[in-house]
Amino acid sequence: MIKAAVVEDDKRAFGMLEAYIVQYEKEAGLRFSLSHFTDAELFLTNYKPLYDIVFMDIKLPGMDGLEAARRLRKFDENECLISTTTMAQFAIKGYEVNALDYFVKPYKYYDLKMRLDRVVKSLKKDDVFVKIPIDGGVKSVRAADIYYIESQGHTLTYHTVAETLSARGVLKELTERLKNSGFVLCNSCYLVNLEHCRAVHGNTVNAGGDELIVSRGKKQEFLSAFSAFLHTRGGG
């Protein structure tokens, strides 16, 4: 599922964008989850590193979209941002805040489709990032640099090549997002990056040098995934 935030005060414009995204879902065989914010302050106050893409209207009441985008970049440098406006000359200013693209209203489906195709392509790249909320912002970590993710209650601990980071989160959401990036559950508490699995012995797997329990319920699925992974790498 692709999660998108739309910061737009014009209900009609939002309705049109929403309808076009529904059309794109059907054509592309994808699912989107939309969160709508009518002003930038509301969006930033409630900001969490959950979104794959943000549509930011430049002309907003109170704080304008460009200032909101500048503040967003302080939290999250890698957020996929598309600026929207009624005038192209203002839309180009979106590049000042490292926007991926701009979108001129009134929206046309073909224009949206081209932009979403580009976003989807970028999301499918091997260089996937996981956004981890930290004090005062967000840290983006390459999925390839994560050994495994540990879940305890509502806290996720990311064991990475460089450091160990903890933040609130839900393992189920990450499991879904990273399933195409070589991550598999070895039990209900550990999401393991197969790239960093050194060996499986009995009911344990060595991930990044740590021995993790492989539960009985997950063992067959985990071993099948590990075997398939080794096969793609030319191993046995």
pLDDT digit string (tens) for 35-89?
999 999 999 987 777 788 999 998 899 998 889 888 888 777 777 888 888 876 6
How do residues 55-66 score in pLDDT, each as one tens digit?
Answer: 999 889 999 888
Contacts for 69 with CB less than 8 Å, ≥ 6 apart: 56, 81, 83, 94, 97, 99
Domain range 2-123, its CATH number among 3.30.450.270, 3.40.50.620, 3.40.50.10210, 3.40.50.2300: 3.40.50.2300
- Percent of residues, the chain, with pLDDT higher than 90: 43
Domain 129-232 annotated CATH 1.10.1050.10: no
In this prediction the pTM is: 0.60
Residues near 52 by beta carbon (within 8 Å), at least 6 away in sequence: 2, 3, 4, 80, 119, 123
Residue 227 has which token pair?
């075997």
Q: What is the location of CATH 3.40.50.2300 in the chain?
A: 2-123
